[in-house]
């Protein structure tokens, strides 16, 4: 099943139509759907798919020779496989006088066997391939290694014509994986699984969230084991990284809180956080009105799958390993609404970004984020800095009565007065699981949404 990735496919197709040599680097962590994306691109356009293995250079060259021989019906190549990468790229340069799509997946495995491979590609690209009609894609799951390939010190620096980092799907894109769930249950599922296709496929939307969790909390479960596998593949010293991630999952978001939660020194925490941010597991936020260099930074786990795993699974592995997953599922369900507060805030942020594309907000914003100062906090503030317009939004993962909703909005106005935006035009909004009397609040000038609006929202069409 291939779902969505319209933006990524569109980019690949647009470059295909340019009629000149292309060298594209595709990367992203495991399970995120890179291979499915590339195979769908090949299904639509034809070409050669080459999957590297963690084996010898000679074995990979032999396997690549067979795939290419099958594609070109080349009996000679089938019996006389390539003996070197020079022979491989020379053959491709001869065959790419017409448009030829070649995808090399798991490219880092080839580099392990031959670290000189990027230099070989550099030479052939400069001398021959760049003048051909080759459409070459190299793809890898080791984010750190692939980003080094893009770096200034890499022989391939300046040779690529494009790069594409494949990230987990957003909330509305991921919705199609579990269409049988009501929107509220999908928020719960997204909070557990995030937007990684391989994880979304592990849930059965004909079963309840709790039933799916019981399957998750088994020693042989893919969902149970994969977080550790993915992190250990990227990180050299997992113990300290795991301690930091667990602290973040427990709501310790400032540098001081993380130090107290882990017992690690400031410099150590800073170093590890920097690596986690580079790899895309953690992000740093400052108040939306502050400079990026502000010292008021907070740190958050980016992907709900890892936030959930470190909050509930990593600290309760003994229950899973002793086959008490049913008990853990009950404990999680009791606490899930508390956990989902930050997830719903992120979903609301995505919802506002999608709305911003459609022009269905009071104004088009250029910046969105949290705001906080001295114990006061606003969940989302959207700004148009040129026109001096601000939208202040609170998010609540609960069903609000009319009275409760008006109370939230009254307090929001009070807090908005603390934000240093004198002379700006202010708007006030609320996103909740449910809002009683929302039409009346809208008539009073507030922007109000709940899950019913989410369910009707179709990002690709920009409609309610």
Same domain flag for 264 and 320: yes
d(CA 160, CA 235): 27
Any domain includes 60:
yes
Choose the weakest-confidence range: 48-52, 446-450, 458-462: 458-462
pLDDT of residue 457: 67
Handedness of CA 166, 167, 172, 177 (dihedral sign): positive
Could you tell me if 57 and 176 lie in one domain? no
Residues whose CB is less than 8 angstroms from the CB of residue 81 and which lie 6 or more positions away in sequence, other chains included: 61, 62, 65, 66
Our count of domains for the chain comes to 3
| 364 and 290 share one domain | no
In this structure, are 326 and 425 located in the same domain? no
Residues in the chain: 464
pLDDT at 378 over 70: yes
Residue 374's domain is classified under what CATH number? 3.40.1350.10
Residue 309 inside a domain? The answer is: yes
The 10 Å Cβ neighbour count of residue 349 is: 21
* Domain shared by 180 and 157, yes or no: no
What is the layout of strands, in order, in the sheet containing 425-435? 367-373, 376-384, 389-400, 425-435, 447-449
Residue 175 is part of which domain span? 171-342
pLDDT of residue 16: 94
From the list 140, 223, 201, 247, the residue with the least C-alpha distance to 3 is 201
Q: Are residues 235 and 133 in the same domain?
A: no
pLDDT at position 270 over 50 = yes
Distance CA(310)–CA(85), nearest Å, equals 43
Q: What is the pLDDT of residue 293?
A: 86
pLDDT digits (tens, 9 = 90+) for 170-222: 999 999 999 999 999 999 999 999 999 999 999 999 999 999 999 999 999 99
Q: Are 96 and 133 in contact (CB under 8 A)?
A: yes
Task: Find the DSSP H helices in 313-431.
Answer: 317-321, 325-358, 402-416
The reply to whether 351 falls in a domain is: no
Over residues 233-241, the mean pLDDT reads 84
Of 191, 163, 164, the C-alpha closest to 178 is 191
Q: Which pLDDT score, from 0 to 100, does residue 1 have?
A: 59
CA distance linking residue 241 with residue 443, whole number of Å: 49
Which CATH number belongs to the domain containing residue 110 in this structure? 3.40.50.300
Most confident of the ranges 236-240, 268-272, 428-432? 428-432
Domain harbouring 183, CATH code: 1.10.10.10
In whole angstroms, give the CA distance from residue 117 to residue 86.
10
Q: Is the pLDDT of residue 462 over 60?
A: no
pTM to 2 decimal places: 0.90
Mean pLDDT for 436-451 is 95
Tell me: the pLDDT tens digits for 121-143? 999 999 999 999 999 999 988 77
Dump pLDDT digits (tens) for 417-437.
999 998 999 999 999 999 999
Alpha carbon 66 to its chain centroid, in Å, reads 35
Is residue 347 a part of any domain in this protein? no
Within-domain flag for 353: no
Res 146 pLDDT > 80: no
Of all helices (H) and strands (E), which one includes residue 146?
Answer: helix 143-150
Contacts of 223 (CB under 8 A, 6+ apart): 193, 199, 202, 216
Query: 193 and 128, same structural domain?
Result: no
139 and 202, same domain (yes or no): no
State how far the alpha carbon of 422 is from the alpha carbons of 260, 414, 416, in Å.
Answer: 37, 14, 11
Domain end call among 298, 317, 342: 342
The candidate with the shortest Cα–Cα distance to 305, out of 165, 173, 396, 169, is: 169
Q: Is the pLDDT of residue 144 over 90?
A: no
User: Mean pLDDT in the chain?
Assistant: 93
Assess contact for 62 and 87: CB atoms under 8 A.
Answer: no
pLDDT in tens, 21-74: 999 999 988 888 999 999 999 999 999 999 999 999 999 999 999 999 999 999
153 and 90 in one domain? yes
For residue 349, being part of any structural domain is answered with: no
Single out the residue of 349, 458, 336 nearest to residue 398, CA to CA: 336
Residue at which a domain ends, from 104, 134, 165: 165
The confidence score (pLDDT) of residue 464 equals 27
Residues 150, 204: one domain? no
- Is 218 domain-assigned? yes
Query: Would you state the pLDDT for residue 459?
Result: 47
Are 161 and 175 in a shared domain?
A: no
Whether 63 maps to a domain, the answer reads yes
Specify the pLDDT at position 95: 96
- Residue-wise pLDDT for 1-19, tens only, equals 577 788 899 999 999 999 8
Angle ∠(226,228,229) on CA atoms, nearest 5: 60
Residues 6+ apart with CB under 8 A from 462: 354, 357, 358, 360
Is 380 in contact with 447 (CB distance < 8 Å)?
A: no
105 pLDDT tier (thresholds 50, 70, 90): very high
Where does a domain end: 342, 373, 407?
A: 342
Residues 417 and 322 in one domain: no
Specify whether the CB–CB gap between 331 and 249 falls below 8 A: no
Question: Phi/psi at 136 (nearest 5 deg)?
Answer: -100, 125
- H-state helical runs in 153-310: 171-174, 183-193, 197-200, 209-216, 222-234, 238-249, 255-262, 266-278, 304-308
């Amino acid at each position: 099943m291939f779902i969505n990735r319209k933006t990524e496919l569109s980019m690949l197709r647009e470059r295909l139509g340019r009629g000149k040599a292309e060298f594209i680097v595709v990367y992203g962590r495991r399970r995120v759907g890179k291979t499915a994306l590339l195979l769908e691109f090949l299904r639509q356009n034809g070409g050669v798919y080459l999957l590297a293995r963690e084996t010898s250079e000679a074995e990979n060259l032999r396997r690549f020779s067979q795939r290419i021989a099958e594609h070109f019906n080349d009996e000679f190549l089938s019996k006389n496989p390539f003996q070197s990468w020079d022979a491989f790229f020379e053959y491709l340069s001869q065959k790419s006088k017409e448009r030829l799509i070649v995808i090399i997946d798991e490219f880092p495995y080839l580099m392990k066997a031959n670290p000189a491979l990027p230099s070989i590609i550099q030479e052939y690209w400069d001398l021959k391939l760049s003048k051909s009609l080759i459409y070459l894609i190299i793809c890898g799951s080791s984010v750190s290694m692939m980003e080094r390939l893009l770096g200034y010190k890499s022989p391939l620096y300046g040779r690529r014509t494009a790069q594409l980092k494949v990230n987990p799907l957003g909330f509305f894109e991921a919705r199609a994986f579990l269409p049988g769930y009501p929107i509220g249950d999908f928020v719960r599922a997204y909070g557990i699984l995030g937007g990684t296709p391989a994880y979304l496929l592990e849930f059965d939307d004909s079963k309840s969230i709790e039933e799916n969790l019981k399957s998750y909390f088994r020693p042989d479960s893919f969902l149970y084991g994969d977080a550790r596998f993915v992190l250990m593949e990227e990180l050299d010293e997992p113990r300290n990284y795991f301690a930091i991630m667990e602290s973040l999952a427990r709501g310790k978001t400032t540098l001081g809180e993380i130090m107290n939660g882990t017992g690690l020194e400031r410099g150590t925490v800073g170093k590890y956080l920097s690596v986690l941010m580079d790899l895309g597991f953690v992000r740093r936020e400052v108040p939306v009105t502050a400079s990026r260099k502000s010292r008021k930074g907070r740190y958050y786990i980016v992907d709900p799958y890892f936030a959930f795993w470190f909050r509930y699974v990593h600290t309760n592995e003994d229950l899973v390993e002793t086959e008490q997953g049913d008990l853990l599922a009950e404990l999680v369900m009791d606490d899930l609404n508390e956990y989902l507060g930050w997830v719903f805030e992120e979903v609301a942020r995505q919802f506002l970004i999608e709305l911003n594309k459609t022009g269905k907000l009071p104004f088009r914003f250029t910046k969105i984020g949290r705001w906080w100062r001295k114990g006061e906090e606003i969940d989302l503030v959207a700004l148009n800095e040129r026109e001096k317009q601000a939208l202040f939004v609170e998010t609540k993962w609960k069903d609000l009565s009319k009275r409760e909703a008006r109370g939230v909005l009254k307090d929001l106005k009070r807090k908005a007065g603390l934000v240093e935006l004198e002379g700006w035009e202010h708007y006030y909004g609320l996103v909740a699981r449910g809002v009683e009397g929302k039409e009346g609040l809208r008539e009073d000038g507030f922007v109000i949404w709940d899950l019913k609006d989410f369910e009707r929202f179709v990002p690709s069409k920009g409609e309610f």
